Structure 1
Amino acid sequence: MLALVTAGCSSSLTPDPPPAPDTDAARQVATQLADALEKKDLTPVAFAGTTGAQADTLFQPLVRGMGPVAPQVDVTTVEGTRATLAYRWTFPGVPRPWTYDTTVELVREDGGWRPTWSPSLVQPALDGAHRLSQHRLYPERGELLGEDGDPIVEKRSVVRIGIDKAHLAADRQEASATRLARLVDVDAKAYARLVARSGKEAFVPAIVFRESDPDRPSNRQVFKIPGALPVQDDAMLAPTRDFAAALVGRVGPATADVVKASDGAVTDGDEVGLSGLQKRYDEQLRGTPGVVVQLVATTSGPAGPSSSAPASPSPSTSPESKPATTFEVKAVAGKPLGTTLNVGLQKLAEKVLDRASGGASLVAVRPSTGTVLAAANNEDSDGQPVATAGQVQPGSTFKVVSALALLRAGLKPDSRVECPRTIKVGGRTYENYDDYPSAHLGRIDLRTAFAQSCNTAFIGQRGELGDADLASAAGSLGVGTDYDVGFPAYFGSVPTGGNANARAEAIFGQGKDQVSPLAMALVAASVEAGRTVLPTLIADQRPTSTAKPLTRAEAASLKSLMRGVVTQGSGRRLAGLGGPDVIAKTGTAEYGGKTPPKTHAWMIAAQGDLAVAVYVQDGESGSSSAGPLLEAFLRGAR
C-alpha cells in the first residue's frame, strides 16, 4: 500500500518530458510561419509568449532596409522541436540569389505548437542589435562607339540641379520647388509634387544640364533659391544633345512598362535605353547590376518580446556600428556597342540640315562597304527616325530604278523615246514639271529623258515592263526588300502589277512607291559600287542581298545616266566639285490633297566612296531645296 502511494506521489511530482512534436502538425505551423515571412507580415502567426502583431512590430525594422524585395522561404526539415527554414532572396537583374538557412524553435502552448520569436529566425547573424539593409550596385553603362572606335556615347560632365530636402524646412519645400522649376523651365506643379513625394532627406533633381550647356543657369542663380543645389556629376551622353538622336536613342529611368516587360531584370531606379540603339541593345549596354546586403546597427535595444536592454548607440556615433557586409554580388559593366557612324560626318550632316526650313534628313553611306556614316534629321523632324525609317514617295529619284528596269527590258541609254508635253493614261493626264525645258520635248534619247527628268517619257515606256520588273530592279538597288540590319530601317515598298494609272505613277516615283532616305542612299551607293549595296551600321549585322544582283555593266550604264544629270540636267550645281566625278539625280514628289499639292524634295548623289541622299519634307524642288544641302555636305566631307 505504501509502495503504491509512494509510486503515485513520485508520478505527480516528476514533470513529463515535452512530447515530440507531431511532424505534420509541426510542419504545418512552420509552413504558416514561412508563408508569413515571405509576405513580410507576421501578424497572422501565433507565437509562443507573444502575439503575431507584437512579433511583427519587432520584425518590420529588421527587414525594412530590404525595400520591396521579399524572400522565398521554405521549410526543409522538422526534427524534434526545431524546424529549418531555407531563405532565398532574389534581387531584380542580379544573377545570384542570397540563400541561407535559419532555425526556429517550436514549443507546446495552449494545446498546439507555436514558433518562438527570435531575430535569428530572419537571418542567423541578427542579434536584436542589427537590422538588414540592401542597396543596388549600378553597373557602368557600355559606351556607344563610332567608326574606328571613336566614342559617341561616353561619360560626360553634367550638372544636376534640384532641391536638397535634407537642408530645407518642410514648409518651404513647395515654394522652393516652384521657383526652381520656373528657373530651369520644367513643369512647376509636377516638380513640386515630385519633391513632396520624395524621401525626407532626398536630393530631387529637376533637370540635368551638360556642364557646357549655354542654357544652364549659373550657380549663383540656383543658390538664390533656398534648398536648391547644382550637383556635379557625369552621365553617358552623345557629343551634343541632337547627335544622331533619333538613331542613337536616349537613356532614362525605367518606366512602369519597361519594368513590367523585363521579367524581373529591371526595377524602379534603373537607367535603361528608351529608344533607338540604346533600347534595342539595352541588355548589352546596361550590364548586370549587383547588390550589397549589410548588417546595420539599430538605434534601439535587442528585438525581443521582453527586451529591456539599453538603447544601442547610433551608427553615426559608434565605431562598432560600421555596417558589416553579409552578402555581395558585384555589378558587371555593360559592353560597348560598335557602330559605323563617323562622328565628323554626322556633325557635318546636322550642321548642314540646320539650314533647311522644315523637316529635312540626310543619310551618307560608303559604297565600298555599305557602312552608314551619317544619319541625320533636323529639329523639325520632331525626333522621328526619318533618315533611316521614314516612308515617303521618292519622286524622280526613283527613275534610277525605272531606268534599270528599262535597261533590262532591252533599252539602252541612246535608245529613242517620246517625251510629249502631256500624256493621258486611264482617263488621267500626266505632265512634266512646270519649268521643263521645251527644247527637250519630242523624240529624245533615254539619256536626255533621264537627265532632264521627263515624266511623260518614262510613263510612255511602262508597257515595256512586266508586272514585277520595277520591284525586281528596285531590289537590285537595295530598295523594297526588308532586311534585319540591327537598327530601325525601312527599305521601301514598290508595287507590282496594278491598273494602268498605278503602273504609270510607280515608274516616276509617285503613287504607291515608298522609300526612306536610307533606301535612296543605297540606290546611289549601288550604282557607284557596281553591285547591290546593303547598309551596315552594327559590326555583326551584315545583311546579304536576296535580290537579283546588279551587274557591273548595268551599273556602268546607270552611272552614265546619273552623270548626265550633273553635266546637263538638274544637278549642274555639283559639276564644280573637285575630285572624282559626281553622279546624281533630283526628284520632287507631290503629296496631300491640296491644290496645288505640297511637295517633297529629293537629291541623291555619289562621289568616290561616298553616297548621299537628302530629303526635304516640304521643299520646292530637288535642285533648289535638297541640292544646296547635298552640295554643302559633299564640300564639307572632303
Structure 2
Amino acid sequence: MTPTHIPDRSAPYGRPRRERRLLGIFVSLLVLAGGGYGVYSLVGDDVPDEDPQVASARKPLTAFLDAWAAKEARRAARYTDTPDGAASLLTSVLTNLKPTRTTIVGGRGRLEAEGEAEFPFTVTMAVPGAGKVSWESRARVKQTSGETAGETSGKQSSGEASGEWKVVFTSPMIHPELQPGQTLALKGGGSRAKVLDSNGDPLLASSLVGTVDPVSGKGTSGLEARYDDVLSGGRKASRSLVVADRRSGRAIKELTRAEKAEGRPVRTTIDPRVQEAAAKALDGVDDKAAIVAIDPSNGHIRAAVNRPGGLNRALEGRYPPGSVFKVVTAAALLKGGLRPEDRAACPKFARVDGQRFENQDQFELPADATFADVFAHSCNTYFVNARGRLSDTDLRDASRAFGIGGRWDVGTTTYDGGVPVNNSDNDKAAATIGQARVQASPLVMASVAATVKSGAFQQPVLVPDAVKKKYEAPVALDTEVNAHLRELMRATVTSGSARALKDLPGRPHAKTGTAEFGTAKPPRTHAWMIGYQGDSDLAWAVLLEDGGSGGADAGPVAARFLRNLGG
C-alpha cells in the first residue's frame, strides 16, 4: 500500500494554523479498551459557520468512531444503518488485528445533499507484529427518516433535519480497499519452519503438530502454538496487513510489507514407522482412543496417536488407570515382602465398610492360586483385601519410583499423573486397583511399563532441544522387585488376561486394565493395556475411552500395533 500521510492531530488533513484556529478546539475521547486504549478526535461543536445538518450528522459518527477506537464493535454498529453487517466486519477486523491502540482522527464534514453529509477520517492502529498501520477513509451519514425542520415549522433557513441520522455502513468505509465479503487480516512474513520427526522429515501427526492460522500465520494449537516464535522466526518476524477473503481466509491484496524472517524447525523424537503402526492399529476403532510408545532406554516418545484429533489425550488426558495400576500396587506389595509364589485368595467379592468390590464377570480363582496368578488374571478382590499390608502412603511412595506425580519437562504439555496419600480404608481399597483418586495419562502408563523394562524411570521426552532439566524419580525401583514385575507381566501374556499378545514375536510383557468411571449402573469402563517388548526397546500404552474391557477390547488393538511393527 502506498504510504499515507498521517496528519497532525492538531491540524487534521494539513490545515494551516490560522484556519485551524477558526475551526475551534478538538474534542478527544480517551477510552480504556482491552490491552490498550483508543483515541478518537473530531472537530468540536463550536466550529463557526458549520451547517446545522453537518453538526447533527457528526454526532452519530462521533459515537461510531469512538466505539470503534474503544474496540467495541457492537456498540459502534448501533449507530449505523446496518448494525449486523457493521458489527460482523468490525469484530472480524479487531479479532484479526488485535490492535493495542487505535487512534481515529476526523476531519471537517460537508453537506452532500439534503439530509446527507460526508466526513473524512484517518485510522492509525498499533498492531502486534505489524507495527503502526494507518489509512484514510470517508464516512457518509444520512438522515434515514423524517422531514426537515424548515418544512414543518417554516424555518427553512435553518436547514435542520428532524429525522434520525445514521452512519451509512459499507466495507470500504472501514478501509477503502475492502469489498463486501472481505476483511483486514495479518499475514506472516518470512518462511515458517516445520515440526519434524526423528528422521528430520515433516511430522505427520496432526494432534501433536497442531494448527496454524491461515491468515495470520500464527500457531494456534499443539507444537505449532508452543513453538510459534521458533518456527516463525520469533521477534524478527513481522506480519503484513492484508485484505483477506472472510470465507476462506485467503490473502487477496497486501497493504503493507513485512520483514522477512526465517524460522527454525522443531525436531521431535517421533519415529514415523512406530507412529504409522500405532495410527493403523486404531483404524476402525469407533471409541475415542490413544496409543503412546516410548523407548525405555532414554524416554524418547516414539509415537503418540489420538483418535479423533483435537484433545491430545495421549499425553494430556486424565483417566483412572484401573488395573494397569496394579503394576505399581504390586511393586509396593513386593517391597513389603510378598513373593510371586505366595498363596493369594481370589474370591468373587470383597467388602470394605459396606462397599462391594468384584472381579470382572465375577470370576474367582482356585484355592491354590498364587500372587503371580492373581496378577496375571487381574483379580481385584485379592488386591482390595491386601490393602492391610499397605500404609496410607505406600502407594504414593511406590508410584514415585515410576516418576508419577512429578513435574516432567517433556517439551510439550503433559499430565504426569497423581497418586494421593490414602485418606480412608475405602479410598485405599479402590486405589489398589487404580480407582478412587488415582489418575494417569496414557503417557504415564506407558512410562510405567518402560520403567519395568529399563529398571529405572527415564522421563519421557518429545522435543529434546527444549528440555532444560529432566525430572528424576526421588526413589529408585528395587532391583529384586523389578525382576519380579517382569516375571508377572510376562505371565500375564502367556497365561493371563493379556493372552491377545501370546503368539506375537518379541516376547511382549503386559498388563490389562478395565477402569470404571462415572455414576451409571452398571458402571461404564475405559479399556487399557500397557506393556513392553522383551526383545527390543519399546514400551507402550493403549487406551479406549468408554471402550469396554482391557483384555477383550484394548488387547486386540495392542496386538495390531505390535503386528504392524513386525514384532
Q: TM-score range by the shorter chain?
A: 0.5 to 0.7
Distance 1:636 1:461 in 2: 39
2:458 to 533, 544, 551: 533
Q: Conserved in 1, the CA contact under 8 Å of 2:294 and 2:447?
A: yes
| Superposed displacement of residue 512, structure 1 | 1.2
**Distance verdict in 2 for CA 1:404–1:543, change over 3 Å:** same
1:356 to 285, 291, 300: 285
Corresponding residue number in structure 1 for 2:106: none
Q: Is residue 286 of structure 1 aligned with residue 232 of structure 2?
A: yes
| CA–CA distance in structure 2, aligned partners of residues 590 and 583 of structure 1 | 24
The residue type equivalent to 1:434 in the other structure is D
Matched, 1:423 2:350: yes
| Residue aligning to 1:146 | 197
Count of residues in Structure 1 that have an aligned counterpart in Structure 2:
398
Corresponding position: 1:444 with 2:369: yes
Residues 395, 509 of structure 1: 8 Å contact kept: yes
Decide whether aligned partners of structure 1 residues 290 and 479 sit closer, same or farther in structure 2, where only a CA change above 3 A counts.
closer
Q: Highest Rg: 1 or 2?
A: 1
**SS in structure 1 at match of 2:12:** coil
CA contact (8 A) 2:189 2:240 kept: no
- SS of residue paired to 2:292: strand
1:588 paired with 2:514, answer: yes
Counterparts of 1:162-561 in structure 2, within 5 Å, are 239=204, 243=205, 245-253=206-214, 269-287=215-233, 288-290=236-238, 330-379=259-308, 383-434=310-361, 436=363, 438=364, 440-540=365-465, 541=467, 543-561=470-488
- 2:490 counterpart residue number: 563
Q: Is the 8 A contact 1:476 1:547 kept in 2?
A: yes
Say whether residues 1:601 and 2:553 are aligned partners: no
Mapped to 1, the partners of 2:496 and 2:187 lie a distance apart of: 64
TM-score w.r.t. the length of structure 2 is 0.64
Q: 2:516, 2:240 → 1: CA distance?
A: 61
Which whole-Å CA distance do the structure 2 matches of 1:429 and 1:403 have between them?
22
The structural deviation recorded for 1:290 is: 4.3
| Contact 2:402–2:473 (CA under 8 A) maintained in structure 1 | no
SS of equivalent to 1:498: coil
* Structure 2 CA distance for partners of 1:349 and 1:291, relative to 1, 3 Å: closer
Give the superposition deviation at 1:149: 1.7
SS at match of 2:369: strand
Change in CA separation of 1:593 and 1:544 when aligned onto 2, cut-off 3 Å: closer
**Could you say if the C-alpha distance between residues 39 and 363 of structure 1 is closer, same or farther in structure 2, counting changes exceeding 3 Å?**
farther
Shift of 1:390: 0.8
Letter in 2 for 1:430: F
- The letter for the 1-side match of 2:129 is G
Q: Of the candidates 493, 502, 505, which is equivalent to residue 575 of structure 1?
A: 502
Gap change, CA 1:51 and 1:468, over 3 Å in 2: same
The residue matched to 1:272 in structure 2 has which SS? coil
Which amino acid is 1:360 matched to? A
- Segments of 5+ residues of structure 2 without an aligned counterpart are 1-5, 24-40, 42-96, 104-124, 134-185, 242-255
Distance (Å, rounded) in 2 between the aligned partners of 1:497 and 1:589: 19
* CA spacing shift, 1:590–1:50, aligned 2, 3 Å: closer
Gaps (5+ residues) in structure 1?
Answer: 1-35, 57-66, 73-88, 99-134, 153-238, 254-268, 294-326
Aligned counterparts of 1:624 and 1:390: Cα–Cα separation in 2 = 22
Structure 2 CA distance for partners of 1:37 and 1:358, relative to 1, 3 Å: same
TM-score after normalising by structure 1: 0.57
Cα distance, 1:41 vs. partner? Answer: 6.7
Deviates more, 1:542-551 or 1:401-410: 542-551
Mapped partners of 2:424, 2:102: distance in 1: 67
CA RMSD in angstroms, aligned pairs only: 3.3
Q: CA separation of 1:273/1:426 partners in 2, compared to 1, >3 Å: closer, same or farther?
A: same
Match of 2:560 in 1: 632
Q: CA offsets, 1:317-345, max 9 Å, x none?
A: xxxxxxxxxx9884211111111112222
Percent identity over the alignment is 39
Q: Distance in 2 between matches of 1:479 and 1:70?
A: 46
